[in-house]
Structure 1
């Protein structure tokens, strides 16, 4: 008998443990108003929802969630309306306890709907703290994902800022190198033909750089060197005000802006000032060869 009683006691404890493990979660009373509740979302648990006959309850799901399916154990006893990530419930009967399953595009929710007995002749029943007027959820996993996304965005922003900083430093280095070049004899023997809107009002060189000055309302064109076999190569330039500083000398230049074209000939051209390593005066600047025309 003793062994039998021990066995029965053990089974009872196991049964109690199973019952406790599967007990529905009652959302805690709200801080501001006890009838407005917030509960952590747990996929494997059931959430209790208490209401009165004739009372409407609002359930707010996560932003971006869309209700796809609703299954109610006693659908005839409940009015259920879904709008976006919001649901509105109201019992049609006084005895309408049942279960409710909601499936969205992201999660599954299980509820135990309980209709409390309405206190007869009570004028304060609507203030009963056991009612749930509104219920929303906390999503811990989403919080972690949002934090990770924020950290990733911050890292990307920092990387962009660093890249921009390095680009600015490189551009400044080139600009400083250009300013440090000693001015030589000025050659102004330049001749131009083409679209007047992108024709420089002054063109000259100092034996190392070519300077093209434009009117105040003129667009700044791209500058190409034209080889003996009529191949164009895009030149590195530096803009100072309304003057384009070409970082080398060339016998013939082509200016392009969209479909507008200007050809410039340097009739005082001499190769004495050229630097052969990169085709430019600065070792930080590389020459780019462009095959064919670049009309827009």
Structure 2
């Protein structure tokens, strides 16, 4: 009996531990359209608004197989015929529950809550929630080749990376010991004109510094995370080193690779005065 009481006490104390969920990010064109990077270990938060429905868009090659929702009275959930869209609408003003969606490729977990919107133009409303998939964006192979899953927006099997030119940096008076060994794959319009690092910070230069893409660091497990950065002169400076970055602007996407990255360090085999 004492063991049971002790176990229940431990469980109760653990239940108070703060939990983190992933919130969608508003897109620049219209904040009512939001995106979130898929991670099988994340719970995605979605706030619905009474009188409005949200469309959740999964990958075009996925098909919804099962939907389970904790409170089916307070929420209306309907998939489209193709099986890659889900229409979600709260039918009560304040309803909190969870939902699991199982497709033929993945499992998605959601934390649902509802509220009241001020107007249809309220930027907090989510008209469309789009998932993006770091592992689909650019698959990195040991032979240096990249490709996409079939159906993941333009299948390009084993398309080679493109080296990023150093020419945009030579006239900038950059220090000598820098790593310029970077390459990219993806949307040409997002390609930086220069990328380099000094062993501590990563510097990006874009043709149009007034219209910058969102930048995410990609780890070995292909999980994305938001980077901290600041603007320094003509450069966007990421406050860390990374083996890979995702650049994203709406539907457009590209990846930048640090080809000289080893165990959190950069090997300075290329010098800025060459």
Q: Normalized per residue, which structure has more helix? A: 1
Query: Bigger relative contact order, structure 1 or 2, given CA contacts below 8 A and separation 6+?
Result: 2
- Give the TM-score taking structure 2 as reference length: 0.45
- Give the TM-score taking structure 1 as reference length: 0.42
Q: Normalized per residue, which structure has more strand? A: 2
